[in-house]
Amino acid sequence: MPIRKVVVHFLQNVSYSSLKKWTLGVLLVLLTASIVSCIGIKSQIKQHTGGNTEIVDSSKFKISPSPLAIKNVSVLSADCSKMEDSLTVLVKNGKIVNVAKDVSITSEYKIIDASGKYLIPGLIDTHTHLQRSKNDLLLYLANGVTQILNNNSDQDNILLQWRKEAEEGSLSPRIYIAAGGMSSKKGFLQTLKTWFGDSKKYNTVKQGKKAVKKFKTQGYDAIKIYNLDKEVYYAVVKEAKKQNIPTMGHLPPSADLSDLFITGQEQLAHVEEITKATMRQLNGLHSGNAREYLDYLNENADSIAIKLKVNSVTVSTTLFIIESIPKQNFELRNFLRSIELEYQNPGQIEGSFLAKGWLPGNNHYENLEAKNDPELMKNLKVFWTTYVEAMNIMTRSLVKNGVPLVVGTDSNGTGVVAGFSLHDELESLNEIGMSTKQVLKAATASPGEWMHSNSGKIEIGYTADLVLLDKNPLKDIRNSRAINAVITNGKLLDRLTLDKILQSIKNANNNSREINIDEFID
C-alpha cells in the first residue's frame, strides 16, 4: 500500500485523544533521546579534554614563602649573552630586591648556596592550550615554565578563575589568556561545535566587534584570531585597537601577508602562518612543486621578514610540533617513546569518539592509508620534508633580520607534552641555527616584554620567577633541563619538591587510564 494511503488510513481510524497521546509519546521519546545525546556529547568532550583525570592536590606541597638569598650563583645577563659569576640574588615578597656581588644578608633570608650553579629567568611558553585539568599548571612549573600565554578561552571562564587563583598565590605559573580563537565557520557541524564546545563563531562584522568588547569586559589579556572571514578579521583587529587589547594568533586563510601588515595584528602564533601564506601564493604545496616552492621562499624570506620587523609583528615559534608531524605520520611508535608520554593527561592521549588522541590507530597525524600505498607514502614524505624545511628557512630569516621571536610550543597539541615541550622547542631552535643566547632571550626577556609582565630578566624590581640550573645553558641549550630548583613568584620549589610534583602527576594519570601505555615508556 502506498505510504500516502497508509497515513490517510491511520488518521481516519484513530481518535483525537489517541492521536494526542501518540504525538506526546513521540515528543517525549525525542526529548529523552536529545537529553541523553547532549549528556553523552558533554561527557565525551570532558573525556578527550582531560576532565576525567584525577586532580593532584597542590596544597600538599609545603612551599615556604620566606625571603631567599641565592649566594655565589652565576646569573644570566639581561641581554642573555653571558653568565655573570659569583653574584647574590635577594628575593622578597615575590620580587627581586637585589642583584650584586657584595650583599648584606639579614637573618630573615633563607640562604641557598648556589656555588657552581646557574640562575636564569623563569621560562615562558607563549603558545599553550590549557584544557580541563589543573595538573598541567604543576607540570609547567616542574619544568621551569613560570609563565604561559594561553591561546584559548572557555565559555565558563574557568581559565580566568585559574588566572585569578594564580595571582592570589596558588601554585601555578602566571597565566596570560588570549580569548578565542575567533573563527567564521558556517554549517550544521560548526553549529553543533558551538553548542557543545568552548568557542562561538563570528560570521558578521557586528558579531566580531561585539565579541571583542565582551572579551575586554570579561578581563581577557588579548584576542586570538583563528579563521575569520576577511571583512570580520579587519573589523576585529580594528575594534581591538579601539579597546586597547592586543590581537594575536593565526593569519586567517581568507587573508594574506599584506592584510596582516594593514590590520596591524601584533603577534603571529606560529612561524607556520607565514609559510602557509607563501604556499597559498603558489596555489598550495604538493610533491610536484616542492623544489619550486623552496626556491621561491629562499628568494622572498628576507623581504617578508623585513616587513614583519618594520610593522612590529612578533612571531611565536612552534617549530617542534611541526617537526613531530612527519614522525607521527610515519614512525609514531618511536616518536611516542621519545616524549614524556606518562605525564600527558590520559584523556587527551586516549581521545574519544568525538576526537582523536595520540596513540597508534587513533592519532591525529598518523597516516594509516600511506602504509599500504608506496606512492602516497613517497609523496607525503616529500611534502612534509619540504614543509619542515620551509619552517627552518623562514625562522632563520626572522632571526637574521631581527624580527622579535618568542618561544611557543602549542602544548597539549598532539605529541606536545606541557612543560617538557618547552625544552624540546629550545633544542629545535638551536639545532636550526639560533644561538643559545638568542634561544634563551626568546624564552625569557622577549615574551616578558611583549606581555608587559615585568618578568623575563634577573634585575631589581622584576618578579622573582627564576630557574636554578646545575649546568650552563649558554654552553649547551640542553642544560635547560638540568633543573635544581624553581622559584615562582618568590616561592622556592627545590628538587625534592619538583620530583614529588612529577610523581604525583604520574600517579594521577596512572589512576585515570583506560589504555595501557607501558610499551611507550622506557
pLDDT tens for the chain, 522 residues long, are 565 665 556 555 656 566 566 666 666 666 665 554 455 556 656 666 777 899 999 989 988 889 999 999 999 999 999 999 999 999 999 999 999 998 999 999 999 999 999 999 999 999 999 988 899 999 999 999 999 999 998 878 899 999 999 999 999 999 999 999 999 976 544 555 554 554 578 999 999 999 999 999 999 999 999 999 999 999 999 999 999 999 999 999 999 999 999 999 999 999 999 999 999 999 999 989 999 999 999 999 999 999 999 999 999 999 999 999 999 999 999 999 999 999 999 999 998 877 899 999 999 899 888 888 999 999 999 999 999 999 999 999 999 999 999 999 999 999 999 999 999 999 999 999 999 999 999 999 999 999 999 999 999 999 999 999 999 999 999 999 999 999 999 999 999 999 999 999 999 999 999 999 999 997
Question: How high is the pLDDT of residue 393?
Answer: 98
Backbone angles phi, psi at 472, to 5 degrees: -85, 115
Cell matching residue 306? 623585513
Question: How high is the pLDDT of residue 26?
Answer: 66
For residues 145 and 123, is the Cβ–Cβ distance under 8 A? yes
For residues 126 and 406, is the Cβ–Cβ distance under 8 A? yes
CB count, 10 Å around CB of 352?
18
Q: Which residues, 6 or more positions from 425, have their beta carbon under 8 angstroms from its beta carbon?
A: 125, 317, 318, 319, 320, 407, 408, 409, 443
Distance from first CA to last CA of the chain, Å, rounded? Answer: 68
Question: b/e string for 359-398 if b means 16 or more Cβ within 10 A?
Answer: beeebebbbeebeeeeeebebbebbbebbbbbbbbbbebb
CB count, 10 Å around CB of 21?
12
Question: Could you give the 3-state DSSP secondary structure of residue 483?
Answer: strand
Question: How high is the pLDDT of residue 188?
Answer: 47
Q: Which residues, 6 or more positions from 37, have their beta carbon under 8 angstroms from its beta carbon?
A: none
Q: Which residues, 6 or more positions from 217, have their beta carbon under 8 angstroms from its beta carbon?
A: none
324: left (phi over 0), alpha (psi -120 to 50) or beta: alpha
Question: How high is the pLDDT of residue 370?
Answer: 85
Spatial strand order of the sheet with 174-183 comes to 123-128, 145-150, 174-183, 222-227, 247-249
Q: Which residues, 6 or more positions from 461, have their beta carbon under 8 angstroms from its beta carbon?
A: 95, 96, 454
Taking the model in full, what pTM does it have? Answer: 0.91
- β-partners of residue 469 are 118, 483
